[in-house]
């Protein structure tokens, strides 16, 4: 996880003590968008997995659980992630993490026949993905919009596994392809990002 992002978040929270991760949206443009996607999405998966492992450890050894919880990712629980004119490489280490998290979601750790004794990451109703906003211009000659389409498709295929705390399907990934826009955020993208951000942030 890029150290400079952690430093910026920590400095921001030090300046505003009441600012929680749930009120932070991480985003970027071009390569910055790729960094935001990789960092934020990986932290989300790591947090859910580590939290569950900590819960299991608490049943055996409370001191172990405390130790695990002190290593929760600093970016855990972000309100959302956005990127403009960007993509998530098919070679990114995030994709194997996502597939492993999806499989663990449906695989019980315990062999007990009593389902109440079974515990898996995300079983408490945490969405598999955080809210994600992807924007791209159709005339982008630097980073082809087809790369953004592929990133959107790869993330969206997991929306069917994205269940919220109320048991309902959660559509986490929003995609905006703006006609005629080159390698920059267009007015449509910016307008829809504002609406998305207002939905992603919890009420004050």
Whether the per-residue pLDDT at 131 is higher than 70: the answer is: yes
Whether the per-residue pLDDT at 134 is higher than 50: the answer is: yes
Where helices occur in the chain by DSSP H, the ranges are 3-15, 31-60, 62-69, 94-105, 145-156, 187-200
- Give the per-residue pLDDT at 50: 52
Please give the class, per CATH, of domain 24-199.
alpha beta
Q: Which of 96, 102, 147 is nearest to 127 (CA)?
A: 102
- Give the per-residue pLDDT at 80: 92
Query: Residues with Cβ < 8 Å from 39, sequence gap 6 or more?
Result: 1, 2, 5, 26, 75
Check if the beta carbon of residue 41 is closer than 8 Å to that of residue 26: no
The pLDDT tens digits of the residues spanning 140-177 come to 999 999 999 999 999 988 765 555 444 444 468 999 99
Q: Which of 158, 181, 16 is nearest to 95 (CA)?
A: 158
Parse the chain into domains and list their residue ranges. 24-199
């Amino acid at each position: 996880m890029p150290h400079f992002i952690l430093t910026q978040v920590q400095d921001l929270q030090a300046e505003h003590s009441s600012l929680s991760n749930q009120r932070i949206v991480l985003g970027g443009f071009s390569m910055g968008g790729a960094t935001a996607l990789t960092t934020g999405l990986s932290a989300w998966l790591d947090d859910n997995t580590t939290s569950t492992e900590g819960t299991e450890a608490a049943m055996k050894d409370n001191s172990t659980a405390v130790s695990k919880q002190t290593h929760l990712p600093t970016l855990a629980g972000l309100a959302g992630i956005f990127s403009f004119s960007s993509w998530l490489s098919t070679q990114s280490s995030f994709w194997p993490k996502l597939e492993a998290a999806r499989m663990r979601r449906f695989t019980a750790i315990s062999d007990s026949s009593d389902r109440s004794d079974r515990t898996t990451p995300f079983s408490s109703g945490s969405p598999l993905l955080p809210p994600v906003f992807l924007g791209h211009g159709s005339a982008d000659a630097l980073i082809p919009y087809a790369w953004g389409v592929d990133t959107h498709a790869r993330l969206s295929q997991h929306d069917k596994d994205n269940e919220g705390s109320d048991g309902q399907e959660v559509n986490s990934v929003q995609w905006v392809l703006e006609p005629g826009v080159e390698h920059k955020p267009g007015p449509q993208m910016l307008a829809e990002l504002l609406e998305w951000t207002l939905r992603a942030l919890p009420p004050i």
